[in-house]
């Protein structure tokens, strides 16, 4: 992709895990990348890696659940790069993992705030520029948990399921401006979060439930996300792609 034609992608939650892997895949494919994370230090680390591909990259730190903060991030990115062509709403936190009786208001508000409100506020800020240019591609991150019954994950299930519904509505709402909206719903993926939350023996047991017999690596999710964001997927909108190793087949 020549410098004069490089597209700009904003990836939220790109300091670690799937977001970081996605930023690297996009950088390798020739996109300039705005790297967002709540942790400024990890965002800076990702930027350094993305720049090795010869593209532009900058870091931005904010809490995605904060509407004003994310509107500020988008405005700053647009000022720096001129536009946002690709928006990857990836920022997320781990599941609650407890019976419904133990769900707290704080747990609920945080899960909905990060996964659902974060997706809403960031898109709300970026959509005006996409509409002005009659071009854009948005990929929202849901989860395999939103596709199947999943016990002891009420707030995470609710938030990720709502992301699916939100995305389908946006796909129709934004289509007149040539703006596509799709969803990636990852299955079990070996990220810092899953390694921290699940000991090796538990991950080994979970891997046995996956027909391909292993967890995904973050870059495999990044490739799926980058495909839906790219011009190669120009006639795909309102769809859900779930790379899950056959764990869920619909």
Active site residues: 156
Residue 230, φ and ψ in degrees, nearest 5 = -85, 170
**How many whole angstroms separate alpha carbon 150 and alpha carbon 90?**
21
| Bridge partners (DSSP) listed for residue 183 | 140, 240
CA–CA distance, 187 with 8 (Å, rounded to integer): 27
CA distance 72 to 81: 14
Burial of 2 from C-beta contacts in 10 A (0-12 / 13-18 / 19+)? exposed
Secondary structure letter of residue 5 according to DSSP: G
């Amino acid at each position: 992709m020549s410098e004069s034609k490089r597209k700009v992608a904003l990836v939220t939650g790109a300091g670690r895990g799937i977001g970081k892997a996605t930023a690297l895949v996009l950088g390798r494919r020739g996109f300039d990348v705005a790297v967002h994370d709540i942790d400024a230090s990890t965002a800076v680390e990702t930027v350094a890696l993305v720049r090795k591909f010869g593209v532009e990259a900058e870091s931005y730190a904010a809490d995605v659940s904060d509407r004003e903060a994310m509107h500020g991030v988008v405005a700053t990115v647009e000022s720096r790069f001129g536009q946002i062509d690709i928006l990857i709403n990836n920022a997320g936190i781990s599941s609650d993992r407890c019976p419904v009786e133990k769900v707290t208001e704080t747990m609920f508000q945080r899960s909905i705030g990060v996964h659902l409100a974060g997706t809403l506020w960031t898109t709300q800020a970026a959509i005006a520029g996409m509409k002005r240019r009659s071009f854009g591609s948005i990929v929202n991150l849901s989860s395999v948990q939103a596709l199947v019954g999943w016990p002891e994950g009420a707030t995470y299930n609710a938030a990720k399921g709502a992301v699916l519904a939100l995305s389908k509505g946006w796909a129709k709402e934004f289509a007149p401006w040539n703006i596509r909206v799709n969803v990636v719903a990852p299955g079990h993926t070996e990220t810092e979060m899953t390694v921290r939350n699940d000991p090796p023996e538990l991950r080994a047991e979970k891997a046995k439930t996956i027909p391909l017999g292993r967890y995904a690596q973050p870059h495999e999710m990044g490739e799926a996300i980058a495909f839906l964001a790219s011009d190669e997927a120009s006639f795909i909108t309102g769809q859900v792609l779930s790379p899950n190793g056959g764990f869920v087949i619909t």
